[in-house]
Amino acid sequence: MKRQASGMARKEAVAGWLFISPWIAGFLIFAAGPIIASLALSFSYWDAITPPQFAGMANYRRLFSDPLLRRSLFNTVYYAVFAVPLGMCTALGLALLLNQKLRGMGIFRTLFYLPAVTSGVATYLLWMWLFNPQLGLINRFLRHFTSNPPLWLSSPDWAMPALIIMSLWGTGGAMLIFLAGLQNIPEQLYEAATIDGANNWKQFLHVTLPMLSPTIFFNLVMAVIGSFQVFSAAFVMTNGGPSNATLLYVLYLFQNAFMYFRLGYASAMAWLLFVIVLILTLFQFRTSKRWVHYG
């Protein structure tokens, strides 16, 4: 009897490995090798043309003396500090609205999710027109109130706010996850709260938020990681300019690797980013015990 059970367990284990094998194969072939290689390369000078030369800690020392690296890190933190809370609040707000029982709700849900599935680069081109200081829709509107609207992507002060505003375009994914989280909250909790005399705001504060906290936690972790990896918007719309105002960390990493051919330095940058994101994520997990409730 016992023997049979272990045979069953083994069968299940084999099936499990089989199911996950495409991912494992993909990871080993396309990710694991480059990850290990990049660690080795981060200790070398490599321009991809001549063979790598051992550099010791030189690339890592350079990280601490490179003013553009500091600038790109500052830009990325600036972006994250505004884009993450703004995106989270917007996504949650939209999810609450879309969780109402209304006729035609399916249409609204589709409409608000649609931006998240449209092609990134195409929407960046669209936003470049919206942000155009002379002809853009945004400034045409703002001219009703001021004769001197911001130059947006052409201004060192306004380019980053423009990218942050644009990041709201992609909140559909987080919104969908919030919506699923909201629908998992049992109806009877609200009924009980109503009987106890809690108004809508109290219900939101004491029922919705605690019950939704695992979902919020998940979205927060993903949003922070995502905000440190933002690349394509700055690559397409500003290429880091004007005056390095939108030189985000990953964009600068890319430039080092594929414009300046410092692949060793770019690898060291990648590992620094990994450490930063790891620390931020661990910090979130550590503090999550205080505010995340698993029902």
Partner 1 sequence: MKTITFRLAYALVLAAAVALAAGCGAVREERTPDGRVVLEWYNYATPEFLTLYREELIPAFERSHPHIKIRLNASLGDTGYDSKLLTLIAGGIAPDVIHVTQANFPLYAAKGLLVDVRTLAKDDVAFDEDDYFKPVLDSMRRGDRLYGLPSDFSTILLFYNKRIFDEAGLPYPDASWTWDTFLQASRKLTVDQDGDRVPDQFAFVTQNAYNRWPAWVWMNGGELFNRDETVCLMDSPSAIQGFSFFVELATKWNVAPAVGQSTGQSPEELFMAEKIAMCANSRYAYKSFAKGMSFPWDVAPMPKGTQRATTLIWGANCILTSTKHPKECWEFLKFLSGREGALGNVRMGNAIPAYKPVALTPGMLKTDVSPANDDEFLRAVSHARTAAFPPQFADYTQALSELDDAFLGVQTPEGVCRRFARRVNVILKEAP
**Residue numbers at the binding site for partner 1 (CB under 8 A):** 47-49, 68, 121, 125, 128-129, 132-135, 147, 151, 154-156, 235-236, 240-244, 256, 258-262
Among residues 258 and 291, whose Cβ is nearest to partner 1? 258
- Alpha-carbon torsion (183, 201, 205, 87), positive or negative: positive
Rounded to a whole number of angstroms, the minimum distance from the CB of residue 109 to partner 1 is: 30
Among residues 5 and 135, whose Cβ is nearest to partner 1? 135
**Structural contact between residues 216 and 180, judged by C-beta atoms closer than 8 angstroms:** no
Rounded to a whole number of angstroms, the minimum distance from the CB of residue 151 to partner 1 is: 3
Rounded to a whole number of angstroms, the minimum distance from the CB of residue 259 to partner 1 is: 7
Among residues 219 and 256, whose Cβ is nearest to partner 1? 256
Among residues 59 and 256, whose Cβ is nearest to partner 1? 256
Rounded to a whole number of angstroms, the minimum distance from the CB of residue 71 to partner 1 is: 11
Among residues 132 and 288, whose Cβ is nearest to partner 1? 132
**Structural contact between residues 263 and 257, judged by C-beta atoms closer than 8 angstroms:** yes
CA 116, 122, 126: angle at the middle one, nearest 5? 95
Q: Which helix (H) or strand (E) holds 48?
A: none
**Structural contact between residues 220 and 87, judged by C-beta atoms closer than 8 angstroms:** no
Burial class (CB in 10 A: 0-12, 13-18, 19+), 240: buried
Alpha helices in 48-66 (DSSP H): 58-65
Burial class (CB in 10 A: 0-12, 13-18, 19+), 287: exposed
Among residues 90 and 244, whose Cβ is nearest to partner 1? 244
The DSSP result for 144-177, as a single string, is: TT-SS---GGGSTTTHHHHHHHHHGGGTHHHHHH
Rounded to a whole number of angstroms, the minimum distance from the CB of residue 37 to partner 1 is: 11
